[in-house]
Structure 1
Amino acid sequence: MKSLGSIRRSFAPWADPAAKPYILFENVTKKFGDFVAVDDLSLSLFEREFFALLGASGCGKSTLLRMLAGFEEPTSGRILLDGQDLRGIPPYRRPVNMMFQSYALFPHMTVEQNIAFGLKQDGMPKPEIAERVGAMLKLVKLEPFAKRKPHQLSGGQRQRVALARSLAKRPKVLLLDEPLGALDKKLREETQFELMDLQQELGLTFVVVTHDQEEAMTMADRIAIMDKGKVKQVATPAEIYEAPNSRFVADFVGSVNLFEGQVSKASNGAMQIASGDLVLKARNGADADTGNTVWFAIRPEKIRVTPQKPEGGDANAMEGEIYDIAYLGDMTIYNVRLDDGRIIKASTMNSARVNENILSWHDRAWISFNSDAGVVLTA
């Protein structure tokens, strides 16, 4: 059985029609004056899911998270958690906890005092607090730093304190608002895997808001792409990347080349697309009739760049000139200007230290890709 991309784990309750959503947004709208932040949005999340809300600033993702936390109330619609309508329930009575981008640690308190704060507010007995704090310190590997204050910690350590404090009350759902935004790139990448492992170990439901595509693709079981208060697509990372449902999603996630054209022939899922002087052969065809305008979306890594014209009947091939080159160590990115002026981006992995057929600026080159390497879009 073929699948799109790698499978992170065999957890997929959304594929079961009988599965009951754990968190349900039903026709939720949120307005701030005349501005519509969330627009008639419906969304289902499942227990133990690591779910990501991904979108540009102002798309409504943080507002959605704040409504789930109880910091905002929907203008209309309702939000259910484990079957309970959350309307009117204050944040401190909801079985959720939120970890903010700023971490919001108390500077005058030690690490263990910060973690214990919410437990003390709830009136938990001191022996139980000590036991829970110890367990949290062990979980986030901060036992040697228990007596330190936030200013004595690195950014990654402060992030772990905030995470431990959020988990100490054992919420049913942990909400994370840009949780790794304050970390440097290398530490952010390490922490992504730690969060994934921690979420699966605890068996909690995580909902993360981020504008970082790589972060969402790495951590989440599913991703909701948002724009202007609406959800554009909800799917697994591989499905979002390999099978976007629109030009917006294809262009938003990763890098993509889009060929616009008209369907000149269509039969049994295969079609030909007339795009300027080019005729593209495409599979993964959408529902489109002859004469319809469509877009063929193909990722740069699916395109081959060669000095000679490739052989093979199934390949789309076109000639151009190397316009730009970016060497990134693990890969090289080529911008190839076709003879009709279009610039196509292709990327190749540098799997060998020495390349005998190296291409340089202004060289003539061929780009090619198979008919099933991309996806045909109608919107």
Structure 2
Amino acid sequence: MAKTLGPVKRKFSPWTDAAEKPFIRFENVTKRFGPFIAVNNLTLDIYEREFFSLLGPSGCGKTTLMRMLAGFEAPSEGRILLQGADLSGVPPYRRPTNMMFQSYALFPHMTVEKNIAFGLEQDGLPREEIRARVADMLKLVRLENFAHRKPNQLSGGQRQRVALARSLAKRPKVLLLDEPLGALDRKLREDTQFELMDIQQELGMTFLIVTHDQEEAMTVSDRIAVMDKGEIVQVATPAEIYEAPNCRYVADFIGDINIIESRFAGSEGQMSRIVCDSFTALVDQPCGVVPGTAVAFAIRPEKIRIALEPPADPAVNAVEGEVWDIAYLGDFSVFVIKREDGFTFRAAQANMARLVDRPITYGDRVWLSWTPDAGLILTR
């Protein structure tokens, strides 16, 4: 049986079908602002009905990429295609896209229903159609009882829903979301992420979201493009990004991880042996480099088991160290384990029971162990 990399959000993967044509295509796109290159010769395909995330730190080019699709910026080189049609020269108001901004940009003097209706009125739609669409949007975002309130009478989450409804009312082919949940508190942001997913699947629309919040991208996306310095480093599903990052940058950017400088010592059957300063480990992964090559061994804290006794199974990898620090986070605890050579591991343990007879605490000598398939070798 083939190995899998975590669950998928839904049975939807048009990018795996060679016969599928991309809905949006960035083709060798470069964007310069004077001498600064914001986007560098980037090619990317996004498929219809996909919830796609552009993820990266500030200044990586993700918002510039979205603004070029919306028509607010023009590429310096390359083309942007939507359903095979080149968008060059098409003004923003003529493009079948709509953008929801982080600030929401609601009209404070208008009621909720007037805010939603504004764009439709500007397009000259018949009054009855406007009324029907506004009613549909209010129902979709569950604000029927707030139609006559003004933005200052709403909570942050409700204002976010109004902005979403206004963006969807014009029925764009692509909804662009620029850090849409950044102003919400953590709990509300988490709840709204699931609401966005439900709305996107209910409408069958293509959503493109820009975010620097990795948890947000992992939650809502069918696929994620991780960006750095105007380039795409990896495009994959959330599970693939997390479990099989293609380089140190992606591994370190997504989630918490231990990255250990090592050397490739050779293959043992299907396994690879890596050598660190004071221990060796087997990794269930082929490694296409010659023995002696510098590599990095990467393993997530939750893949490491922590115990007061050495593991009974000789097939697992194990190292010993001292508990140096502990972060109790409620649902799990993170332990910082310092080894005699000075290297520190981070290991996470779920708090399965409210009370334990002998909790691991500061100063304890402990054993860390992991199976050969828990970590991976990074060659770049």
Range class of TM-score, shorter chain: over 0.9
The list of structure 1 runs, each at least 4 consecutive aligned residues, that deviate by more than 3 angstroms after superposition, is none
Question: Which secondary structure does the structure 1 equivalent of 2:296 belong to?
Answer: strand
Question: Which secondary structure does the structure 2 equivalent of 1:194 belong to?
Answer: helix
Question: Which secondary structure does the structure 2 equivalent of 1:20 belong to?
Answer: coil
Question: Which secondary structure does the structure 1 equivalent of 2:291 belong to?
Answer: coil
Q: Does 1:217 align with 2:196?
A: no
Name the aligned partner's letter for residue 73 of structure 2.
E
Q: Which runs of 5+ in 2 are unaligned?
A: none
Structure 2 Cα separation of the partners of residues 326 and 143 of structure 1? 44
Q: Which residue of 1 aligns with 2:60?
A: 59
Question: Which secondary structure does the structure 1 equivalent of 2:225 belong to?
Answer: strand
Name the aligned partner's letter for residue 70 of structure 1.
G
Q: Which residue of 2 aligns with 1:207?
A: 208
Say if 2:56 and 2:211, in contact at 8 Å, map to a contact too. yes
Say if 1:262 and 1:290, in contact at 8 Å, map to a contact too. yes
Instruction: Note closer, same or farther for the CA distance 1:52–1:289 as it changes in structure 2 (3 Å cut).
Output: same
Q: Which moved more, 1:11-20 or 1:199-208?
A: 11-20
Structure 1 segment 1-379 matched on structure 2, within 5 A: 1=1, 2-379=3-380
Question: Which secondary structure does the structure 1 equivalent of 2:168 belong to?
Answer: helix
Structure 1 Cα separation of the partners of residues 259 and 244 of structure 2? 14
Question: Which secondary structure does the structure 2 equivalent of 1:321 belong to?
Answer: strand
Residues paired across the two proteins, number: 379
Q: Deviations over 1:186-244 (max 9, x none)?
A: 10000000000000000000000000010000000000000000000000000000000
Structure 2 Cα separation of the partners of residues 366 and 103 of structure 1? 51
Say if 1:283 and 1:376, in contact at 8 Å, map to a contact too. no
Name the aligned partner's letter for residue 22 of structure 1.
F
Using structure 2 for the length normalisation, give the TM-score. Answer: 0.98
Name the aligned partner's letter for residue 61 of structure 2.
G
What is the RMSD computed on CA atoms of the aligned residues? 0.8
Question: Which secondary structure does the structure 1 equivalent of 2:19 belong to?
Answer: coil
Structure 2 Cα separation of the partners of residues 135 and 38 of structure 1? 38
Q: Deviations over 1:279-320 (max 9, x none)?
A: 111112332221111111100000011101112122111111
Q: Deviations over 1:113-154 (max 9, x none)?
A: 100000011000111111111111111111111111111110
Structure 2 Cα separation of the partners of residues 174 and 98 of structure 1? 6
Name the aligned partner's letter for residue 71 of structure 2.
G
Say if 1:285 and 1:375, in contact at 8 Å, map to a contact too. no
Q: Deviations over 1:18-41 (max 9, x none)?
A: 110000000100000011000110
Structure 2 Cα separation of the partners of residues 269 and 255 of structure 1? 27
Q: CA offset at residue 267 of structure 1?
A: 4.0
Question: Which secondary structure does the structure 1 equivalent of 2:54 belong to?
Answer: strand
Say if 1:59 and 1:226, in contact at 8 Å, map to a contact too. yes
Say if 2:272 and 2:287, in contact at 8 Å, map to a contact too. no
Q: Which runs of 5+ in 1 are unaligned?
A: none
Question: Which secondary structure does the structure 1 equivalent of 2:172 belong to?
Answer: coil
Structure 2 Cα separation of the partners of residues 259 and 150 of structure 1? 51
Structure 1 Cα separation of the partners of residues 214 and 240 of structure 2? 14
Structure 1 Cα separation of the partners of residues 5 and 260 of structure 2? 22
Q: CA offset at residue 371 of structure 1?
A: 1.1
Q: Which moved more, 1:43-52 or 1:361-370?
A: 361-370
- Give the share of equivalent positions with the same residue, in percent: 62
Question: Which secondary structure does the structure 2 equivalent of 1:157 belong to?
Answer: helix
Name the aligned partner's letter for residue 328 of structure 2.
Y
Name the aligned partner's letter for residue 376 of structure 1.
I
Name the aligned partner's letter for residue 255 of structure 1.
D
Say if 1:266 and 1:289, in contact at 8 Å, map to a contact too. no
Say if 1:61 and 1:226, in contact at 8 Å, map to a contact too. yes
Q: Which moved more, 1:32-41 or 1:261-270?
A: 261-270
